[in-house]
Amino acid sequence: MEKNRLCKLLNIRYPVIQAPMNWVSGPALVAAVSGAGGLGTLGPNAGSDDITHDVELTGERIRERIRTIRRLTDAPFAVNIVVGFGEDTKYSKKIVDVVVEEHVPVAVVSVGSPRVYTGVLKNAGTIVLHAVSTAEHAVKAKDAGVDAVICEGFEAGGHKGLTELTTFSLTPMVADAVDIPVVTGGGIADARGVIAALALGADGVYMGTRFMATRQAESHESVKAAVVAGKDACTVSIPKGKMIARDIRNRFTDDYMKLHQSGASPETMADYLANHSQYHSQLLGRSDDSEICCGQGAGLIEDIPDAAGLVSDLASDVERRFEALRLRLGSFF
């Protein structure tokens, strides 16, 4: 079968992108997914043992991990660049320098304008995928010259804009709005989600939470166990200034919401977050009283497989589920 346009663009076998996850998607996960024919994406702090505010060190840690990925696989992979706002862009500037110097094949750019880094990355030969949460943003990203857009629905784990558009509605809107490849994510945890995403007009899928519960993810074992234990409505959206975050519902989210509703100052909220962050859950294993970004798809996850096996099982499940779908669609023809 001929590769679709996303696979051709990225030079990968399956249109499956392992989404970037802070503290979670380190070199082992990236290399496993890319080596299995998907596209792995290095997350900002994944592989670190501590938090640093040193810009140079942040960049050099990313460089070291890029080199580790290359020692593990020859396959294409991506690095996440979280653009950020104001002062915070000093980190992303440094990471862009490293990505360019290391000739990273693909950048997954999120949380910020596509106008900031698309030009410099593309001039260096890096393929740019930009994350958006509305069709309007997708058009802006396309106009800024990105190679593909990634749309993230409300179901998605982690931080996103204030819109509540779900993957089901957002994907076809974005697919109609732009003529470049569209990747979609948010709530996709198995082959049914992959087929649905492609049926909605996407060229590929973007999966975070599913890959968090894999052997190669850097997540603490207690976090992986919490994802597997999560059933049904086990996640919740919490407000974070101009963004929202979807997390596993736990003592952290309950206490955070109580604090928020009590009218606590932004400083108090920031302080609370800093002491109950993803570092505390993912690295230190404080999985009940700290934040665990997690998508609604957690309710569909029941195991902690090898990440490469997950990619190949997903591919064969798509084929099997597609046959079942054809039977179900029979009455339309």
Ligand X SMILES: Cc1cc2nc3c(=O)[nH]c(=O)nc-3n(C[C@H](O)[C@H](O)[C@H](O)COP(=O)(O)O)c2cc1C
Residues engaged in binding ligand X (CB under 6 A): 19-22, 24, 43-44, 80, 82, 110, 131, 152, 155-158, 185-188, 206-210, 212, 293-295, 297
For 17-47, give the DSSP string. EE---TTT--HHHHHHHHHTTSB-EE-TTTT
Shorter beta-carbon distance to ligand X: residue 83 or 315: 83
Distance in angstroms (rounded) separating the CA atoms of residues 21 and 106? 16
In the complex, least distance from residue 129 CB atom to ligand X, rounded to whole angstroms: 11
In the complex, least distance from residue 72 CB atom to ligand X, rounded to whole angstroms: 21
In the complex, least distance from residue 24 CB atom to ligand X, rounded to whole angstroms: 5
DSSP strand pairing (182-185 vs 106-110): unpaired
- 93: CB partners within 8 A, 6+ apart: none
Shorter beta-carbon distance to ligand X: residue 152 or 203: 152
Shorter beta-carbon distance to ligand X: residue 82 or 283: 82
Shorter beta-carbon distance to ligand X: residue 168 or 264: 168
Burial 90-99 (b: 16+ CB within 10 A, else e): ebbbbbbebb
- 7: CB partners within 8 A, 6+ apart: 13, 14, 15, 204
Shorter beta-carbon distance to ligand X: residue 80 or 287: 80
Among all residues, whose Cβ is closest to ligand X? 208
In the complex, least distance from residue 21 CB atom to ligand X, rounded to whole angstroms: 4
- 97: CB partners within 8 A, 6+ apart: 59
Shorter beta-carbon distance to ligand X: residue 83 or 175: 83
In the complex, least distance from residue 292 CB atom to ligand X, rounded to whole angstroms: 7
In the complex, least distance from residue 262 CB atom to ligand X, rounded to whole angstroms: 27
Distances from the Cα of 27 to the Cα of 55, 130, 204, 218, 237, angstroms: 20, 21, 22, 9, 29
